Amino acid sequence: MISLLDDQDHEVASHVEQKIVSMGESIIPFLEEEWEETLDTDLQKRIEDLIHDLQFGGLMGRLKEWKENGAKDLIEGMWLVNSFMYPDVDLANITKAVEQLYFDAWTHMKENMHPFDQVKALNNVLFREKRFSANTKNFHSPANSMLHLALETKRGNPLTLCVIYMTIAQKLDMPVYGVNLPNLFILTYKMDGVQFYINVYNKGLVLSKADIDNYILQLNLNPVDIFYEPCSNLDIVKRALRNLAFSFEKMDDLEKATEVTKLLTAISDDDPTL
């Protein structure tokens, strides 16, 4: 059936294409096989487009399902963002890398540690031992939004670094959550009247509420709760998609920027540009 994609009769080729799309991602291996066997560059291009459309449709479906199931697993949500550019990256590999970092951090933790000491210990593991750091050279690169690359290269944007830090902290039973600051994603340690902030992009620098106040003031914005309080996993994944769309716009790849915005719209009840 796939060989009929290049049928001279446009109606036949179109019907075959519709049939293939209706079969979903399960047909992708057969399309890849056909791509390898044909020497027809036009057919290869048509197969490539079909594979992309099938993968994109599948990804959108999985993102919606993740949201509808409560957006409980942040790593899974970030892996789905990852899948837009790297559909072959396995969630299990990302999970394994995070688990290893958690174990390394766990060996440095002691009972009844003060919150600041907990943060200091985690900072020491991630930024001194493992040498995670900000990717300032290629800040707007789409790769910066890819969690598996941040884990491999130990470089990332504020959001990917915060996701790694926060996931490990929570596994260590630290009450650490994401905070949606304008232009900078940070974390907050919040429990029993104790609250302070962590700038992961600056090697885990601890900040006070007054520091956040000053930051907001510098941006000429009104201080609202969203700038100080924990945000949800869904908020984090939506921000990751916004970052990715913006990266493609900076690269003048408007086609990919539009596709990422479609993914964002699929899990948003509001305007994705907000």
The per-residue pLDDT for 53 is 82
Integer Cα distance of 268 and 179 in angstroms: 18
Contacts of 136 by beta carbon, 8 Å cutoff, 6+ apart: none
Q: How many residues does the chain have?
A: 274
Name the domain boundary from 19, 51, 68: 68
Residue type present at position 140: H
Residues 115 and 227 in one domain: yes
Q: Give me the pLDDT at residue 271, please.
A: 46
Pair type for strands 205-207 and 194-199: antiparallel
Q: Are 13 and 5 in contact (CB under 8 A)?
A: yes
Task: Return the number of other C-beta atoms located less than 10 Å from residue 145's C-beta.
Answer: 29
Q: 7-21, 41-55, 227-241, 250-264: lowest mean pLDDT where? A: 7-21
State which residues form the domain around 97: 74-266
User: Are residues 205 and 253 both part of a single domain?
Assistant: yes
> Residue 249, Cβ neighbours under 10 Å: how many?
16
- Distance (Å, whole) CA 63 – CA 105: 30
Cα–Cα distance, 101 to 113 (Å, whole number): 19
The amino acid sitting at 70 is: G
Same domain, 227 and 149: yes
Both 24 and 128 in a single domain? no
Structural tokens at position 115 = 């919150």
Give CA torsion, residues 223, 225, 229, 232, to 10 deg. -120
20: part of which helix (H) or strand (E)? helix 10-23
pLDDT tier for residue 212 given thresholds of 50, 70 and 90:
very high
Q: Is residue 239 part of a domain?
A: yes
Please give the tally of structural domains in the chain.
Answer: 2
Q: Are residues 152 and 250 in the same domain?
A: yes
Mean pLDDT confidence for 246-254: 95
**pLDDT at res. 22:** 63
Contact (CB, 8 A) for 167 and 74: yes
214 and 234 inside one domain: yes
Residues 261 and 167 in one domain: yes
Nearest to 209 by CA among 230, 219, 220, 195: 195
Task: Write the pLDDT tens digit of every residue in 155-200.
Answer: 999 999 999 999 999 999 999 999 999 999 999 999 988 999 999 9
From first CA to last CA, the distance across the chain in angstroms is 45
pLDDT of residue 16: 61
Q: Which residues contact residue 146 at a Cβ distance below 8 angstroms, ignoring those fewer than 6 apart?
A: 81, 82, 85, 86, 160
Mean pLDDT estimate for the chain: 89
273 lies in some domain: no
Whether the pLDDT of residue 42 is over 90: the answer is no
More confident residue, 32 or 154: 154
Tokens found for residue 77: 């949500």
For 43-53, b where at least 16 C-beta lie within 10 A, e where not — what string?
A: beebbeebbee
pLDDT in tens, 82-111: 999 999 999 999 999 999 999 999 999 999
Report d(CA 173, CA 169) in Å as an integer: 6
* Whole-number pLDDT of residue 31: 74
Measured from the Cβ of residue 124, the count of other Cβ atoms closer than 10 Å reads: 14
Domain boundary among 51, 68, 85: 68
Q: Does the structure show a pLDDT above 80 at 114? A: yes
| Residues 233 and 103 both lie in one domain | yes
**Same domain, yes or no, for 82 and 185?**
yes
Residue 272 lies in a domain: no
Are 125 and 255 in the same domain?
Answer: yes
Say yes or no: 90 and 63 in one domain.
no
218-240 in b/e burial notation, b at 16+ Cβ within 10 A? eeeeeeeeebbebbebbebbbbb
Reply yes or no on whether the pLDDT at 29 is more than 90.
Answer: no
**83 with 58, same domain?**
no
C-beta of residue 142 within 8 angstroms of C-beta of residue 85: yes
